[in-house]
Structure 1
Amino acid sequence: MAHPVIQNVQRILYYPAKANLYACLYPFKGIFYFLGHPWLFPLLRTRFVPAFLLSAFVLLNLFFWTYLPQVAFLALFHHNGSAWVNGTFLVLGEGAAIVAILFEAFLVDESQVDVFDAVLVHKGHDDLVRQSRPVSEEHLNNPVLCLGKPTQPSVYGPFSFRQIAEFVILLPLNFIPYVGVPLFLLLTGYRAGPLQHWRYFKLRGFDRKQRNAFAKRRRLQYTFYGAVYLFLQLVPVLSMFFLLTAAVSSALWAADLETERRQQEARIQGQDYTDEPAGGVD
């Protein structure tokens, strides 16, 4: 048995750090999972062209009209050329906010719901999805085709004016040399992370109090996950692709959480059963 000091170090440092690292990796797991499962591709195909054109139009105009003036302003505070790096992230952040308002928040949500639900079905949690929509068993090799039309309002992530406002308000953090960009991503990820599990919370039937308590217990995990998610959103013209892979990653995380929860419940039930006194025959 481990020494109490070692146990405390593991509990306080090792296990939280490990959980935060795993949370950071989920966005990348979502990318590889998406690329490895072609039945998800049609959900991207229908949205990719308009999203690509819109993102390209917004970013080209921002870089053409605003990049150099913003770099010149940042140069007042930066040295050794860091103004160019921070200026790039600043413009990309502005572009991500504009694209989110014009396109993502209104036209992509349905596709993200389908991606999220299909991944849950593929991971064996179709009982969760059935609470919101029928799931057939006619297309076992294609979870997307198994999904029926939702029987109740289905939202992947609600449009959050507060999140958009915070995103815009925190953009000036990019003025700070070197640490400005990471700080911006972490502070905006604080709110973006839990919103990526809005669909999971609804399928679980959480009310606001339960949702906040669940997120609070995993606050750092959601913050780091949200920071990586937002970083990927800053990649020029590929924000639509990373939006759908984000839905994949959040579903993979939800599936792991659900599996862990059910295993814990099974262990507790098993302990309750074995702890019962054996009854004799009179």
Structure 2
Amino acid sequence: MSSSDPLRRNPLSDAAWLYPIWGIPYFLSHRFFWPLLHRRLVTIFILSAIVYTILFLFTYLPQVAFLAIFQGAGAWVNGAILVLGEGAAIVALLFEAFFVDETLVDIFDAVMIHKGFETLVAQKRALNPNTDDPVKKLGKPTEKAVYSPFSLRQIIEFIILLPLNFVPVVGVPLFLVLTGYRAGPFHHWRYFQLLDFSKDHRNRFIRHRKLRYTAFGTVAVSLQLVPGLSMLFLLTTATGSALWAAEMQKRKQDLVERQATTAPAGLNPEYRDDPVDPVLVHV
């Protein structure tokens, strides 16, 4: 392919682990997101402060004492990481269950609209034609909208994996990767809804991109361990997941346009899931 080829793979756009990070400046630099943050900001900090204060007051020292048996002085650091992981799980569960999933859907849809995929979003929710503001354009969903589905299995696995933090040196990275493996695909659940993926198609799509979803999920989980900012990063990670989805949609559209111009007359171009290229998705 030539350097001007629209389907030429871009190493940065294929680096899935970067999208949770790119979501931070994108969210903060676009003012239309700020009302969504303002609605949740007080709740985020109050909830996080209460949970982390309780955990550090009542569980930090006992866990450090236990870890010190195996890790010596390193127990102070790993104990803090363990408590942060516990806090992130509790805050995320409470916040996502009661406060934020609707907001995450709005963020995801607003990014897709801002990136030029208004038609895709319009298939699943009413849109206000009288404004160019992507957030104000959002009307009520025409069917159930979920950013990330509740997963008891994910919560149980998170709790089971927490003791990995007891393992010196490799324990914390291993914990982040294994939890990221499960968490990554959930950040594109809304994208799968917009594309009307069946369960089988969704599973194939995820399986072909498992390493990328694991990388995305690992960074997302790491950001959620930052005390006080974990739920802010939940919002910005939703932004990053939408940026990644928009990139895949753009590449898919480029592919369809290329096939339309190269297919023999009278034939409709066909394309399929492809484990090599992340944008060759059947719709």
Verify the 8 A CA contact 2:13 2:247 in the aligned structure 1. Answer: no
What is the aligned partner in structure 2 of residue 190 from structure 1? 181
TM-superposed deviation, 1:106: 2.7
Aligned partner of 2:168 in structure 1 is 177
Identity of aligned residues (%): 57
For residues 209-257 of structure 1, give each alpha carbon's deviation from its aligned partner in whole angstroms, at most 9, with x where no partner exists. 1001001111000001000000010111212211110110010000000
Counterpart selection for 1:230 from 221, 224, 233: 221
For 2:13 and 2:19, the matched residues in 1 are separated by: 10
Per-residue Cα deviation, 1:253-279 (whole angstroms, up to 9, x for no partner): 000001111111221222214798xxx
1:27 to 10, 20, 39: 20
Task: Quote the offset at 1:73 in angstroms.
Answer: 0.9
Distance 1:165 1:227 in 2: 17
Matched with 2:116 is 124
Partner of 1:250: 241
Residues 263-272 or 243-252, more deviating: 263-272
Structure 1 runs, 4 residues or longer, greater than 3 Å off:
18-21, 273-276
Question: How much is the aligned-residue C-alpha RMSD, in angstroms?
Answer: 1.9
Residue-by-residue CA offset, 1:34-57 (whole Å, 9 max, x unaligned): 011011011011111112111111
Taking structure 1 as the reference length, the TM-score comes to 0.88
Q: In the aligned structure 2, how far is the partner of 1:251 from the partner of 1:150?
A: 17
The structure carrying a bigger helix percent of its residues is 1
1:56 aligns with 2:49: yes
Distance 1:20 1:256, change over 3 A: closer
Q: Tell whether the 8 Å contact from 1:112 to 1:247 is kept in structure 2 after alignment.
A: yes
Indicate conservation of the 8 Å contact 1:20/1:220, yes or no. Answer: no
For structure 1, the residue ranges without an aligned partner over 5 or more in a row are 2-14, 277-282
Secondary structure (helix, strand or coil) at the match of 1:143 reads coil
Residue of 65, 81, 99 corresponding to 1:107: 99
Supply the AA of the counterpart residue of 2:254. Answer: Q
| Residues in 1 aligned to 2:13 and 2:167: alpha-carbon distance in whole angstroms | 25
Q: Which amino acid is 2:258 matched to?
A: R
Partner of residue 154, structure 1? 145
Greater Cα radius of gyration, structure 1 or 2:
1
Aligned to 1:9: none
Equivalent residue, structure 2, for 1:82: 74
Deviations along 1:43-102, one digit per CA (max 9) or x if unpaired, are: 0111111121111111011111111111111111114x3212211110001111111222
> Displacement of 1:135 after TM fit?
2.1
Distance 1:186 1:20, change over 3 A: farther
Change (3 A) 1:125 1:21: closer
Deviations along 1:95-148, one digit per CA (max 9) or x if unpaired, are: 1111122222332000001000000000000111011112233211x1101111
- 1:133 aligns with one of 125, 131, 152: 125
Asked if the contact 2:20–2:240 (Cα under 8 Å) also holds between the matched residues in 1, the reply is yes
In 1, Cα distance between equivalents of 2:76 and 2:251: 45
Equivalence for 1:41: 34
Structure 2 unaligned runs (5+)?
Answer: 2-8, 268-283
Count of residues in correspondence between the two structures: 260
